[in-house]
Structure 1
Amino acid sequence: MASSFLRGLSLAFAFCSYATMVYGQSLESGSGAKYGGLSSPADIGVIAQFNDSMYTTEIVLGGQNFTVVVDTGSTDLWVDARGLNLKTTNNTGFNVNFSYAIGEVEGEIQYADLQIGPYVIPNQVFISATKVSPVDSFPGNVKGLIGMAFDTATIFQTLMGTWGLGSAQQLGRAPITNLFTQNPSAPAYFDLQLSRIDADGAEQEGHFLFGQHAKGLEAVEQAPKLERIQVDHWTVALDAMTINGKQYTGWNKSAVPSLPEGKIATVFDSGFTYPQIPEAAVNAIYSSIPGAVPYHGPIPGTDNVGDVTSWIVPCNASTNLTFTLGGQEFPVHPRDLITMYNGVKLDTVDGIDMVANTTICLNTWQVGEPVGEYDILLGMAFLRNVYASFHYGDYTPPGNSTTGQLPYVQFLSLTDREKAWAEFNDYIAQKLAGFAPPADPASFVKVLNAYISHSQAGASSGSSSASADATGDLAVSGAASDSSSDGSDKHSGDFGRLAAGLSAASVAIGLIGLSVSLFMCIRGVKGRRDAQYKPLRLPKEDATGLDAERGALYRD
């Protein structure tokens, strides 16, 4: 709970103090959030991480630098500041936990001055994480997430339940809506373009701007306004999906009752690596690729781990996928339909990773059924194909009180289909030149089934030697012998033809892919300016509110 001196403050005094401090500071001291001129936009930029599976930017919070995921699919700002001397302006004592698609964060709601590029937001509310699980959800130097959706999530709901709606509207806003509130004359939108990492490791330019468009991409302003249809997310109506020029007609009736027949509710989520669409739609896309083979069940050593159907695709093949929104067509780059794995770790035996010496390519667009608030989720693999402008309209938190212009999205297509295929062919050729030989999908499925069947048989027999026998020849010789003469290992020869070179050295091969996908929702400072330190005074708890020690759970 909050400290005793906070309990003694009246709500009215807190509001007066907050308004005087924040708005007076912004007008008098000049340390509030500022906008650059439209003629010289401040492009904060986003950086692609881990094989295009995560996009981050740089912030300064409480005097400390953080690399955080940019996530249009959630709202709250959180950082992992454990071990750092974070300069907070106040601590509420409210402990909360919240979940993403996979992964969970626990921490305390606190306040600190926030810098995003040249912009300063005094006394920004955030969650200081005390626990992030799984522990490897955010690898490397990534230490948090900045949500770019609407004020309906854990922080806002916790403060509203404890202090009331008026207090939450003042003290519980996310960074983006806080920035626009403190600058009412500035255009209330942000633009986002996700970059790509080329085959040689070079990264194309990514854009992240507030209240202005990137130079040369101003045409997005003339694009149709795709109005938000659901208050928690950037959700709009999808007109159609076409595969090789043929419209897909397999959508069920939308989970959002207000949508007309044939349209479905679509969330745009920059924190989600893999788009989530119904299984029938996944099958329609990948069955259109010659040589692609379905496989039901988890594939060891990859990110396709659910009990659903995956597709193993020839690495030099893809398809023409297009989405229609607001009457505009948006083709998807063929690169964004497959995920490459150079070596697949099938098992670990006596501490040695058993890695197939082959490259396989799997479906990037994965199975995800409607959840009630939306029908499909278009993540990074769609958003890389557009320049996106997210407008808040006449938004007032918690979102359902919007009057006048609804929040909306505008897209400018960046993918030229003809050029995209040439880029795809060049990219695949360069990647495979440095990878293990690509697998034939049908052959790989046969070998995978044989390997899993043999492993399960060994486990059910209760004999550890059975598992060792299944992998021993591979580990020693790099190829299994055909022992079908006695019937004990009739598939070993098939596996050996595919998995040459499985030895202790395989440990170094590891898994190339998206290690960050366990936190799919997963969602720069180019100039620094010191913000004046000001303590933030908070209202007292409302005894009739929810239990602030628990807070509200939020699932992205």
Structure 2
Amino acid sequence: MGVLTVFVALSLLGATRSEYTFVRRVSLAPRSLEPAVLPAAEFAVPFTAKTPRRKSKKTALAALRGKSRALGGSSTVAVDGSDFDDEYLTNATIGGQHFSLIVDTGSSDTWVAQRGFNCFDLDENPVPEATCAFGTPGFNTAASKTFQPFPNVSFNITYGDGEFLSGPVGFDTVTIGGLSVARQEIGVPTLTAWEGDGINTGLIGLAFPDLTSVYNTTDPTKASAENQIPYNPLFLSAVSQKKVAHPFFSVALDRGTFDQQENDPFDPNLGFLAFGGIAPVPVVNTAVTVPIEGYSATGTPSNGPGSDFFFYTVEVEAYTFPGASVRPVGSPILDTGTTLNFMSTEVTTAYNAKFDPPAVLDEDAGLWVVECNATVPEFGVKIGGKTFTIDARDQILPAGTDDNGNIICISGTQDGGPDVADNIFILGDVFLHNVVATFNPVAAEITLTQRAKY
């Protein structure tokens, strides 16, 4: 996701809130910490469904935009890769009803389309319900014995590719694997513009409360910063209900093979989402725990305490590749909901020139295109004094075919705009395929652990 301002990033990853002005500010916590001790989580749940490619993801990729991401009593669920690994799904039960939901660390709301929803296209024209391509007819609030409505408020969110959802809000029991959260606040939209995959019926957001999208109005056109009602996202509700002994959740996203990404829209058991501990995949000794960077809503930069947290933003000390070690100004967010890495223009241009043959910028598409069999230069991300390497297989992605049926490939490292402090850059799935990312939203820390080769 390449953006020029933090506001645009919020539009892509959460609700559009034009009233906000965010300026990055750094926590007083030390810039690198000893790695946290992260025992394995206990439970794992595999999945076997199959899904076609999401049209909106295909469009978003072409436009250089992703959608808009340690002890006992823990739970782990397997994560499927759909849309040629562009999105990762997990099974969840809400009010006793079963759904497949997108896992997104770049947003905060858990929502599921309500049965009887009205479907729209991206121009806000009514279209048949099937056009939204949800995986089920939707959540039947009347059939849930545990659903309770939240009156006089509304859920309202717009994503960067034009998809939007709005409607009522309620509370219900949400269960993922062995983790069950009672009275979780969820959106149950009745107005939906969604270009679905035929499998997912909603999304699980795992970021911070201030990025949630519930408002003290029943009129979605009046949703604003002034009437926003922040609430605890799913995992923080689990923590407050003492459903996990320690406030960690962890993601390990597996890459698919090149052939799978090009030819098979669904890969079962493509990684894990773990609660209360580190995801159960082989790792090496390279690990570090670093603080999450906060933002100020006042427009005044500050290095003092009291940062407002929205995304999982981390400071990168350097991007390293042959002949270069670049210390960036802007900081990236870790986002499972974005396929590619979006770096600064300076880093992207220099790195893509190192492919053999060099990647070429397609001016019309705004994409760095590369030969599918090109030699990939090494790439490292230095965080907290540790360098995490990206496998070459993640740096060349199939992105469709040309008019002659030939596969077009793009670089996994794309342009996110100029390297300025108030820009938001993305370490997406290209990076996350190579690490286990373990999040502690209570302490505002992230532990990154290099995965073993797989």
TM bin (shorter chain): 0.5 to 0.7
Q: CA deviation at 1:244?
A: 2.3
Match of 2:182 among 119, 122, 130: 122
Q: Could you give the per-residue CA deviations for residues 499-541 of structure 1, whole angstroms, max 9, x where no partner exists? A: xxxxxxxxxxxxxxxxxxxxxxxxxxxxxxxxxxxxxxxxxxx
User: Corresponding residue for 1:275?
Assistant: 341
Q: What is the distance in 2 between the residues matched to 1:131 and 1:51?
A: 28
Look up the SS of the partner of 2:349 in the other structure.
helix
Q: Select 2:414's aligned residue among 356, 362, 366.
A: 366
Aligned partners of 2:148, 2:84: CA distance in 1, in Å? 37
How far the C-alpha of 1:365 sits from its partner, in A, is: 2.0
1:296-336 per-residue CA deviation (whole Å, 9 max, x = no partner) reads 433xxxxxx4xx35333343432211101111111111121
Counterparts in 2 of 1:199 and 1:118: CA distance versus 1, 3 Å: same
Q: Which residue of 2 aligns with 1:411?
A: 448
Larger radius of gyration: 1
In structure 2, the partner of 1:443 is none
Counterpart position of 1:326 = 384
How far did 1:48 drift? 0.9
CA 1:40–1:79 in 2, change beyond 3 Å: closer, same or farther? closer
SS at structure 2 position matched to 1:129: coil
CA-to-aligned-CA distance 1:269-320 (integer Å, 9 cap, x gap): 011112222222211111101223423433xxxxxx4xx3533334343221
Q: CA deviation at 1:356?
A: 1.9
User: Given the alignment of the two structures, is residue 109 of structure 1 paired with residue 169 of structure 2, yes or no?
Assistant: yes
Specify the alignment match of 1:494 in structure 2: none
Question: How much identity, in percent, do the aligned residues show?
Answer: 23
2:210 to 152, 157, 167: 152
Q: Which runs of 5+ in 1 are unaligned?
A: 1-34, 255-263, 299-304, 345-354, 394-405, 421-556
Change in 2 beyond 3 A, CA 1:409/1:119: same
Give 1:373 shift: 4.8
Letter in 2 for 1:283: T
Structure 1 residues 6-17: aligned runs within 5 Å: none
Q: Distance in 1 between matches of 2:324 and 2:405?
A: 37
Cα root mean square deviation, aligned: 3.2
Counterparts of 1:118-267 in structure 2 under 5 Å? 118-133=178-193, 135-136=194-195, 138-155=196-213, 158=216, 172-183=231-242, 186-199=245-258, 201=260, 205-215=270-280, 223-230=287-294, 231-244=309-322, 246-248=324-326, 251=328, 254=329, 264-267=330-333
Deviations 1:51-103, CA, capped at 9 Å, x for gaps: 11111111111222111111111111111233442322224242332223323
Q: Secondary structure at the match of 1:382?
A: helix
Mapped to 2, the partners of 1:131 and 1:185 lie a distance apart of 34
Tell me the secondary structure at the aligned position of residue 431 of structure 2. helix
Decide whether aligned partners of structure 1 residues 47 and 295 sit closer, same or farther in structure 2, where only a CA change above 3 A counts. Answer: same
CA distance in structure 2 between the partners assigned to 1:341 and 1:276 by the alignment: 16
Residues 82 and 129 of structure 1 are in contact (CA less than 8 Å); yes or no, is this contact kept in structure 2?
Answer: no
Counterpart position of 1:434 = none
User: Is 2:154 the partner of 1:89?
Assistant: no
Q: Is residue 2:436 matched to residue 1:387?
A: yes
Q: Which amino acid counterpart does residue 66 of structure 1 have in structure 2?
A: F
- Cα distance 1:175–1:74, how it changes in 2: closer, same or farther (>3 A)? same
Q: Which residue of 1 aligns with 2:361?
A: 295
Cα contact 1:243–1:319 (8 A) shared by 2: yes
Letter in 2 for 1:392: P
Counterparts of 1:130 and 1:91, CA distance in 2: 15
Task: State the alpha-carbon separation in 2 of the partners of residues 78 and 144 from structure 1.
Answer: 5
Letter in 2 for 1:101: G
* Cα 1:317–1:203 shift into 2, 3 Å: farther
| TM-aligned CA distance change 1:278 to 1:185, over 3 Å | closer
Contact 1:277-1:368 at 8 Å conserved across structures: yes
| Superposed displacement of residue 182, structure 1 | 0.4
Contact persistence 1:235–1:374 (CA under 8 A): no
Could you tell me which of 366, 369, 387 is aligned with 1:311? 369
Aligned to 1:538: none
Separation in 1 of the partners of 2:353 and 2:201? Answer: 39
| Residue 209 of structure 1: how far off its partner (Å) | 1.2
Q: Identify the residue that residue 70 of structure 1 maps to in structure 2.
A: 103
TM-superposed CA distance for 1:408, in Å, is 0.6
Q: Which of the two has greater helix per residue?
A: 1
Alignment of 1:511-530 (within 5 A): none
Describe the SS at the equivalent of 1:152: helix
Structure 2: which 5+ residue stretches go unaligned?
Answer: 1-41, 44-69, 117-137, 261-266, 295-308
Shift of 1:392: 2.2
Partner amino acid for 1:114? V
Contact 2:168 2:188 survives alignment (8 Å): yes
- Give the secondary-structure state (helix, strand or coil) at the position aligned to 1:237: coil
In the TM superposition, what is the alpha-carbon distance from 1:361 to its structure 2 partner? Answer: 1.3
- How far apart are the structure 1 equivalents of 2:186 and 2:239? 17
| Alpha-carbon contact 2:289-2:384 (below 8 Å) kept | yes
Distance in 2 between residues matched to 1:382 and 1:81, nearest whole Å: 34
Whether the 8 Å CA contact 2:74–2:244 is kept in 1: the answer is no
Distance 1:120 1:216, change over 3 A: closer
SS in 2 for 1:223: strand
Q: Is the 1:59–1:66 Cα contact (8 Å) retained in structure 2? A: yes
